[in-house]
Structure 1
């Protein structure tokens, strides 16, 4: 198993399609197919089930991919440890996060990081939190920034900050005075129209869990994959919405909405940085995490 073989086979496993993998690797499809056949011959076992669409791993292939990822992680850790020993400040950090988190966090953290590490490049891979998790597992990114709600136990996490999830309305709601903002009893909004995120979204699962806990049955009149869309729909008067405080800070609505905490103590979750359990953080990565955390201290 050399590094080129590992790279090619992991890319095919990721894409689940030889043609697509060949395009991303900038090699021809026949050349990649021949390369895989040769690797399987050396291994003495099939790595991929060729008769399935999308392409799947055989049992031997699953072991190969798991071991290959461990080997790549060990190699990367060794490079990082040697870089730190040599006080190297060159390199690249691949950071996975949503476009919303990128917009709200990076402009505040990266200027100082750039001053400390002028030769370290930050490469962002922007996607939903579930994809961020998968990209961390597969070594596509070094660090991921996600809500620490219902995430994989195989990943190491470090809390960056606490984030409140807020109820947005275009009209006044029955509320109580709170320390920061007025709060509403979540049970008071049962039966109201809501614009919510789609069911595969982490925030939607968290919101549904709160609704279920309090016996709230909202009328879902709109679903979207975008927090900003449901926020703007709430400000328009179409429905209520529950969004992260980050969205409220970022938006500039045409009509100023009413913003409420949910319950006296509020509805919160943690935002954190995740990495593979077998990954060692470099000095630059540690510094980036500290700067991201300081954004909300």
Structure 2
């Protein structure tokens, strides 16, 4: 086994087809098929059952895949340890962040991370959950923070924290004029108010819609947006109300001075996970960034209204 052989086999196992694996590896499908057959010949046993859809692993293939994952992990750790001997660890960390979370998390941890790994460049993108997971499976990202449910069997998820959903209201809304900021309210108290809601691309949109339905509310939605900072500014300027994760309150924006905030008696929580492909171990510096982000998120959300 060598690095390339491990990567080829794991790509087919991950994608479930030679065509999809070849596309993710940027090679021709016949070339990939030929290389896999050569690996199987060297192994003396077939790795894949080609008559199934998706392609499945033979018993020998299951053993090979487990060994390939360990092989890549050991190789990664070896390279990092050797690099650490010189006192310098340089590299690129490709990080995916969920929409509505990048502004709250990244500025808080990047300075700390750079103090530990000054020669590692973090390349961050903010995308919807499904796009983040697609890029992880296509080896376009090393790790990603995803909101919602841990549903993709090809990814490994580590729970960072659960974040309480709260309600923001412009100070000129009837709600804010009747009920002091910081109170716990029933969502029914928003009867007659106009809302800002997230777009369908965000994983917690359905949960928000269900929460409103349980309260018997069908509000007029003035704006749907993926941008939490924009939503807060519009909420304040236009006397609207909006649901959002608690961490959104902690962003240092002038809009927060124009908003009242409330806990909900009908509690709802959103989950935040770190996700990575099962066959791609994290580098030490990626693990460090994950730990820093996890600790920061928990510290930021430890305070409650």
TM > 0.5: yes
The Cα of 1:39 is off from its aligned counterpart by 6.9
Mapped to 2, the partners of 1:124 and 1:276 lie a distance apart of 17
SS of the equivalent of 2:217 reads coil
* Deviations 1:4-46, CA, capped at 9 Å, x for gaps: 7967xx79x8xxx99xx79x96x9xxxx588579779989xxx
Residue-by-residue CA offset, 1:150-195 (whole Å, 9 max, x unaligned): 23153322315635433233424166568xx233320122443212
1:167 aligned counterpart, secondary structure: strand
**CA 1:194–1:285 in 2, change beyond 3 Å: closer, same or farther?**
same
Is the Cα contact below 8 Å between 2:99 and 2:227 reproduced in 1? no
The answer for unaligned runs of 5 or more in structure 2 is 41-50, 300-305
Q: Which moved more, 1:80-89 or 1:202-211?
A: 80-89
Q: Is 1:167–1:262's contact at 8 Å kept on the other side of the alignment?
A: no
The structure-2 alpha-carbon separation of the partners of 1:195 and 1:102, relative to structure 1 and needing over 3 Å to count, comes to closer
3-state DSSP of counterpart to 1:157: strand
Q: Which residue of 2 aligns with 1:251?
A: 253
Matching of residue 102 in structure 1 with residue 98 in structure 2: no
Q: 1:72 to 1:283 in 2, by over 3 A?
A: same
- Aligned partner of 1:263 in structure 2 is 264
8 Å CA contact 1:168, 1:234 repeated in 2 = yes
**Paired position in structure 1 for 2:149:** 150
Distance 2:277 2:265 in 1: 36
Pair 1:168–1:131, CA change in 2 (3 A): farther
How large is the RMSD of aligned CA atoms in angstroms?
4.4
Aligned to 1:188: 189
In 2, are the aligned partners of 1:93 and 1:285 still within 8 Å (CA)? yes
**Whole-angstrom CA distance in 2 between matches of 1:162 and 1:104:** 13
Contact 2:163/2:246 (CA < 8 Å) preserved in 1? no
Cα deviation 1:62-103 (Å, max 9, x = unaligned): 559x99998985554233232355463343322111364333
Query: What is the aligned residue count?
Result: 273
Match of 1:171, SS state, is coil
* Aligned 8 A contact 2:168 2:261 in 1: yes
> Under a length normalisation based on structure 2, what TM-score does the superposition of the two structures give?
0.67
State the distance in 1 between where 2:53 and 2:171 align.
Answer: 57
User: For each residue in 1:107-162, what CA deviation from the matched residue of structure 2 results, as whole angstroms up to 9, or x when unmatched?
Assistant: 22122222222333322232122222232333322221122x22315332231563
Contact 1:184 1:261 in 2 (8 A): yes
C-alpha spacing 1:169/1:184, structure 2 compared with 1 (3 Å): farther
State the Cα distance separating 1:206 from its structure 2 match: 2.1
Distance 1:71 1:166 in 2: 49
> Are 1:125 and 2:125 an aligned pair?
yes
Partner of 2:289: 288
Secondary structure of the 1:93 match is strand
User: Equivalents in 1 of 2:229, 2:4: separation in Å?
Assistant: 42
- CA distance 1:33–1:161, change in 2 (3 Å): closer
**Alignment partner of 2:77 out of 68, 77, 81:** 81
Give the match for residue 303 of structure 2: none
Task: Find the residue that maps to 2:172 and give its secondary structure.
Answer: coil
Kindly indicate whether the alpha-carbon contact (under 8 Å) linking 2:194 and 2:241 is maintained by their aligned counterparts in 1. Answer: yes
SS in 1 for 2:254: coil
State how far apart, in whole Å, the 2-side matches of 1:76 and 1:40 are.
18
Measure, in 2, the Cα distance between the counterparts of 1:37 and 1:83.
Answer: 29
1:212 aligned to 2:213?
A: yes
Aligned to 1:50: none
